[in-house]
Structure 1
Amino acid sequence: MPKAYVFTRYGGPETEALVDQDRPSPGPGQVLVAVRAAGVNPVDWKQRTGYRRPGGPARELPAVFGNEVAGIVEEIGADVNGFAVGDEVFGNPVAGGYATYALLPVAVTAHKPAALPFTDAATLPVAAATAYDGIRQLDLPAGATLLITGAGGGVGVAAAQIAHAFAVRVVGVASDVKKDFVESLGAVHVPSGPGLAEQVRAAAPQGIDAVFDLVGGDVLEEAATLLADRTKLITAGASQDEAERLGGARVARARTAAVLDEVAKLAVDGRLRPLVTRTFPLDRAAEALRTVENGHARGKIVIEVAI
């Protein structure tokens, strides 16, 4: 029987369960994918607490965890072109991806390059695509300096590498234990904590041209003071209202297959290393999610689904 890891109501980890799931059937514009890997992201546990993306639909409960997967097309829905049974693909599922099977809308599904492992491909649709959208939104010239808060997490790791690929200098804020990790991405590390602005100024005496925030709260407030042009402040860690109050904006997500193709090319070229640091089988999805929810993840955590 196919399995899925779900939350049965809104709340904490006590709402989670591994359950049997009927094999879904693809609707128009969808493909059914046999999941081989599912990326784990902070948004996954936040959705369990009741968080909903602005403008996004309410989830039906029980709801399957997960917002990015890679796998093999098993069945094609009506009005689908460009995909065939047996194709290796990755993308954003309709309703969860910690499962044996997932439905993917073709609008946000891309063909997986043969050189890209399923575990790496499964990290791209949320973290890497968010990072790519944000870097494109900032539109910085080569040689500019970008401050990334939360540089040790999934989006931050991708953003630092993509910015580096575009010849943008990166200052990355992360905990002291992630110093070597952040510096391995080509970024200048600044430890998180009190005195952030002062330490950033010391690390980048030429000034900061833009901020890509992934933390929100006091960190975002302090980072904003470093900018002369607040339109160069974007966040995926705070609300639109908070961003606008500081003169910035939320990351504008494209959510297209074209973006997935672009980040896959960067990964295949070696300019974007997915940096999967740990994998878990589906029956240990709770451990995978706790690793991210407790803030201990370095790089990307991935759930592997057995054939």
Structure 2
Amino acid sequence: MVKAFGYNANGGPEVAEFLELDPPSPMAGELLIDVRAAGVNPIDYKLRAGAYGPTDPSAFPVVLGAEASGVVREVGADVEGFSVGDEVFGAVAPGSGGYTEATLLTADVSAPKPPQVSFEAAATLTVAAATAYDGVTQLGLRAGQTLLVNGASAGVGVAALQIARDLEINAIGVAGPDKGPLIESLGATFISYDDDVADQVRQVLPDGVDAIFDLVGGHGLRVVAELLNDRSKLISAADMGTVSELGGHLIQRDRGRRVLEIVAGLVADGKLDPKVEDVRPLDEAAQALAAVEVGHARGKVVIVPA
């Protein structure tokens, strides 16, 4: 049996519980790994809460966690490029979760973990860093142009600012008033979020910005959109309805091994720090998820089985 943390019904934190499950077996296209670390993300509690619709009862129990790193124990059929004993990271396979001792990864959305990258750091790359890379690169900015990252202090935003820096793109990070030191440490110009955020930006850049990568949506997106004349350079990872209404579009995700290898390489080369600030044992999975859900987490939160 393997220990896991998940839920048997949609709801608030009170529905989450520890589970004892049979060890999983890889199907075609999957890797069975001994989990060394699992990233904690907002999508975890949103799925538990039923924010994207109620979970099919036949899927219960559900193990929390969308991404993990570990060591390959078994390779499923039709998988190329991986062997037993490899250190890897990636997206959990459908029906699997990361908050556990052993899980299944989708091989096509997994990559080798460079030896210079810790398991804890690798466990945070599949969701946040890969999303950041997809967003920044699809905007097609040249060196010297300006990118505004709206909601820049969480995992995707922190990675986006660093990727922009590596591409010599001038970045502006919009975040809460206490996030200035973090944003500026990443080489970006800090703007404190408020209804006058556009005026604050125009004091620095009277002509506005060349692109906006939104991670907030709603009113926060509307407030900054006026800084951009070319709405084809407006993307959001948070609010498809509002960004479409404003003339922009939703981020286009790659979700493949290539991007995972790129972001892992950036970490290995010291160009990207995923800011893992809170590492918790599996026994504290509830507290780890709560830190993200209530917004008290600074940097990325990671769960380790041992």
TM-score category (smaller protein): over 0.9
> In the alignment, does 2:201 pair up with 1:203?
no
| Higher mean C-alpha displacement, 10-19 vs 59-68 | 59-68
SS at match of 1:219: helix
> In the alignment, does 2:112 pair up with 1:108?
no
Offset of 1:57 from its aligned partner?
A: 9.4
Matches within 5 A, 1:1-307: 1-52=1-52, 60-94=59-93, 95-238=96-239, 240-306=240-306
Offset of 1:242 from its aligned partner?
A: 2.2
1-side partners of 2:165 and 2:288: how far apart? 29
| Higher mean C-alpha displacement, 105-114 vs 188-197 | 188-197
Q: CA RMSD in A?
A: 1.6
TM-score by length of 1: 0.95
Counterpart residue identity of residue 91, structure 1: G
> Could you tell me whether the CA contact under 8 Å between 2:170 and 2:188 is conserved in 1?
yes
Counterpart residue identity of residue 23, structure 1: P
2-side partners of 1:70 and 1:205: how far apart? 45
1-side partners of 2:172 and 2:298: how far apart? 17
SS at match of 1:234: strand
- Spell out, residue by residue over 1:163-199, the C-alpha distance to the aligned partner (whole angstroms, 9 max, x if none): 1100001110111211101110111111112211111
Offset of 1:58 from its aligned partner?
A: 9.5
> Could you tell me whether the CA contact under 8 Å between 1:3 and 1:18 is conserved in 2?
yes
Counterpart residue identity of residue 99, structure 1: T
SS at match of 2:28: coil
> Could you tell me whether the CA contact under 8 Å between 1:52 and 1:58 is conserved in 2?
no
Offset of 1:102 from its aligned partner?
A: 1.0
> Could you tell me whether the CA contact under 8 Å between 2:191 and 2:200 is conserved in 1?
yes
Q: CA 1:79/1:57 → structure 2, altered by over 3 Å: closer, same or farther?
A: farther
> Could you tell me whether the CA contact under 8 Å between 1:146 and 1:170 is conserved in 2?
yes
SS at match of 1:156: helix
1-side partners of 2:228 and 2:60: how far apart? 43
2-side partners of 1:179 and 1:233: how far apart? 24
2-side partners of 1:246 and 1:229: how far apart? 11
Q: Paired residues, what number?
A: 303
Offset of 1:19 from its aligned partner?
A: 1.1
Counterpart residue identity of residue 80, structure 2: N
Counterpart residue identity of residue 69, structure 1: A
- Spell out, residue by residue over 1:240-283, the C-alpha distance to the aligned partner (whole angstroms, 9 max, x if none): 22221111111111000111000011111111111101111111
2-side partners of 1:299 and 1:203: how far apart? 27
Counterpart residue identity of residue 134, structure 1: G
| Higher mean C-alpha displacement, 170-179 vs 192-201 | 192-201
1-side partners of 2:38 and 2:243: how far apart? 30
> Could you tell me whether the CA contact under 8 Å between 1:91 and 1:125 is conserved in 2?
yes
> Could you tell me whether the CA contact under 8 Å between 1:190 and 1:203 is conserved in 2?
no
> Could you tell me whether the CA contact under 8 Å between 1:171 and 1:204 is conserved in 2?
no
Offset of 1:137 from its aligned partner?
A: 1.0
Counterpart residue identity of residue 267, structure 2: A
Offset of 1:130 from its aligned partner?
A: 0.2
Structure 1 outlier segments of 4+, above 3 Å: 56-59
Which residues of structure 2 form unaligned runs of 5+? none
2-side partners of 1:21 and 1:181: how far apart? 40
2-side partners of 1:177 and 1:217: how far apart? 21
Offset of 1:61 from its aligned partner?
A: 2.0
SS at match of 2:283: helix
SS at match of 1:200: helix
TM-score by length of 2: 0.96
Counterpart residue identity of residue 277, structure 2: T
Which residues of structure 1 form unaligned runs of 5+? none
Counterpart residue identity of residue 178, structure 1: K
2-side partners of 1:59 and 1:98: how far apart? 20
Q: CA 1:50/1:44 → structure 2, altered by over 3 Å: closer, same or farther?
A: same
SS at match of 2:92: coil
1-side partners of 2:127 and 2:69: how far apart? 12
SS at match of 1:295: coil
1-side partners of 2:110 and 2:56: how far apart? 20
